[in-house]
Amino acid sequence: MVNVILGGAGFIGSNLVRFLMACGEKVIVIDNLSNGSKDFLPKNFPGELFFEYDLSNPLSSELLEKLKLLHNSEELTIWHLAANSDIQKGTEDFAVDFHATLGTTLSALNLATRIKTHSLIFASSSAVYGDHGDRPLDENVTDLRPISNYGVMKLASELVIQNYSVVNPHIKIRIYRFPNVIGLPLTHGVLRDFHSKLKSKPQNLHVLGNGEQQKPFMHVDDLITNMITLNSTSALNEVFNLSSKDDGVRISEIAEIMIDNFSPTTKPVYQTTPQGWIGDIPKYSFDTNKSISHGAASILSSRKAVEKVVAQLKSLT
């Protein structure tokens, strides 16, 4: 099996590359390096298996030819992790997620059509659900009402993949709805925001929103091991929520942890709005019973995941 990782030089993608290589698997990376970097890839990653390419454009026949030569008639596992990761930017400019989050899905499906594919694994998001407050969200929730364009394009990607699966039922489909995933490298998100703001040891840490936002956080190591486990279950087409099994961590709690560790004299300053930005879901709760019942391993709590990243950051300095 050959693994082709779309967005493989990004935060989650590069961690997946490291994991798969450690398992001795063959890995090809396609990435436009807009959020990712070649420096995120393992030092021993073979240069000829990396392709700098913007997958929001149609696949070029040149790229397809090169991939055909590399895969040696082995079947592909396509990991579609290519997407915009800046949800706020997508609210200001709808074109961002249209191209980077949905356009890349068309390329993933075209690749699956053009080169014999065993599995297509799609990184979807909690954002497809929209704002349901405290209600625990399981995979059978039908009222999907994303309030960010990022969430809209993730939902449209899921639906297009499901329609594709009707016509191509032999390809194994996994749709994983990610929670807030954290780890190194810090490319975006609240930990990066706080970490970069605290570098200058400021008097105040300005937090987006009132700090009461509460979300599940999952360490990228747990995310990857659980995807690997759930890929191997027999069903041909499954949707799974991936998350820590708790109600999440409050943003104010994360602010305190980060301040304690990186700038103890700084004071957090909150806004009055429950949302950190337009399109932000202040609180959500994932029901992860399905993934657990299919063998997902025990994982760090949201708070422990944050603490693990903090420890990783401290070991770097």
Give the interface with a second copy as residue ranges (CB under 8 A). 58, 91, 94-95, 98, 102-103, 106, 109, 142-149, 152-153, 155-156, 159-160, 163-164, 166-167, 278-279
In terms of CB distance, is 45 or 164 closer to a second copy? 164
> Angle 251-262/302-316 helices, nearest 10 degrees?
20
Buried b / exposed e along 236-270 (16+ C-beta atoms within 10 A): eebbbbbbbbbbbbbbbebbebbbebbbeebebeb
**Which residues, 6+ apart, have CB-to-CB distance to 147 below 8 Å?**
130, 131, 279, 281
Min dist CB 160 to a second copy, Å, is 6
CB of 251 to a second copy, least distance (A): 21
Q: Which is nearer to a second copy, 152 or 309 (CB)?
A: 152
Minimum distance from CB of 169 to a second copy (Å)? 12
Residue 20 or 155: which CB sits closer to a second copy? 155
Which CA distances in Å does 237 have to 107, 174, 232, 233?
A: 20, 6, 12, 10
What is the closest distance, in whole angstroms, from the C-beta atom of residue 13 to a second copy in the complex? 23
The residue among 103 and 179 lying less far from a second copy, judged by its C-beta, is 103
Nearer to a second copy, 105 or 180 (CB): 105
Q: Which amino acid is at 115?
A: I
C-beta atoms surrounding 309 within 10 Å: 23
Q: How far is the CB of 153 from a second copy (least distance, A)?
A: 7
